[in-house]
Amino acid sequence: MKKKNDNYPKAWELGDLTEKDREKAVDAGCEPGKKCLMSTPAIIRRYLERCKRNTFTNMSLTTPHAAIGGSTMRRIWAAAWLITFLLVGQVTVADQAQKAETAKSKAEVLEKKAAPEGSKVLPTPAQIITKPQAQAVDPVGEELVDDAITCLARSIYWEARGTGDASMEAVANVVMNRVGHEGFPNTICGVVKQGQEQGACQFSWWCDGRVDDAEEDESYSHAKEISRKALNRQLKDRTGGALYFHNRKVAPSWSKEYIRTVEVGEHVFYKPAGGEAK
């Protein structure tokens, strides 16, 4: 039976190698006066170019069970790993930042389409916000609330987190319905922050005096996904065109002035009798 070590060359002297084989030996991490390991191409490619500047004396190639190097090689491997880790980290951060900017730019275009004077034409494939792009926005829920995705996602999060998909989508429906209604601001952030100058916000979470940072990663990630679909016009309107809602545990006086459209989860939804916002 063929032994495992038979797959590798037995030890031979450097003088027996051709110039091309010597270069391969260098790439394999061979050092002067030390044993070396000829292993997989992936390992061979990683060894440092500095070996090529070495002169080879009393060097031999042995089986993979021989030791390579010692402390010097371990330090080289550690340095190479650290550099690779840092470079990959920088690339990842830059890539996420680019995705976030792309998502924000697309969101601006899509909310203009949703506004009363917008075209109402469905977005093209190139205009649609992808899931990775949306998730790159406000990654830990602590950024300024000043772009469409963040404004909508925070509203969904604070108004309906933990209540289920239907309730969260219904809150998104109301925000988007307001953006498309002449009686409200024509941007998502404008809708969400409306009334803050008078201290009577339309969405209470925005001016309740508490920190607005998202606290639960999974819930906030889900809120951003719903925001993405809402901007892409991929959500059905669960509210029947509602412009208002409240939690079913309360009974605000203003609710008597509107037509109840539907109850979804923990919320009750309304629209004006004459179609005009008040």
Mean confidence (pLDDT) of the chain: 79
Give the whole-angstrom CA distance, residue 171 versus residue 226.
Answer: 10
Domains and CATH numbers, the chain: 4-69 (no CATH), 100-272 (1.10.10.2520)
Backbone angles phi, psi at 195, to 5 degrees: 95, -5
pLDDT digits (tens, 9 = 90+) for 164-200: 999 999 999 999 999 999 989 999 999 999 987 666 7
Structure tokens at 48: 């440092």
Of the listed ranges 161-175, 220-234, 261-275, the least confidently predicted one is 261-275
In this predicted structure, the answer to whether residue 84 has a pLDDT above a threshold of 60 is: yes
Please state the rounded mean pLDDT for residues 90-96: 78
Can you give the pLDDT at residue 274? 75
CA atoms within 13 A on the CB side of 262: 15
Backbone angles phi, psi at 272, to 5 degrees: -65, 145
pLDDT digits (tens, 9 = 90+) for 100-139: 999 999 999 999 999 998 887 899 999 999 999 999 999 9
**CA-based nearest residue to 5, from 59, 67, 62:** 62
pLDDT band at 56; cut points 50, 70, 90: very low
pLDDT digits (tens, 9 = 90+) for 6-54: 333 433 344 445 566 656 655 555 554 444 444 434 333 444 444 444 4
Can you give the pLDDT at residue 21? 61
Give me the amino acid identity at 277. Answer: A
In this predicted structure, the answer to whether residue 253 has a pLDDT above a threshold of 80 is: yes
Of the listed ranges 27-31, 75-79, 198-202, 272-276, the least confidently predicted one is 27-31
Can you give the pLDDT at residue 8? 35
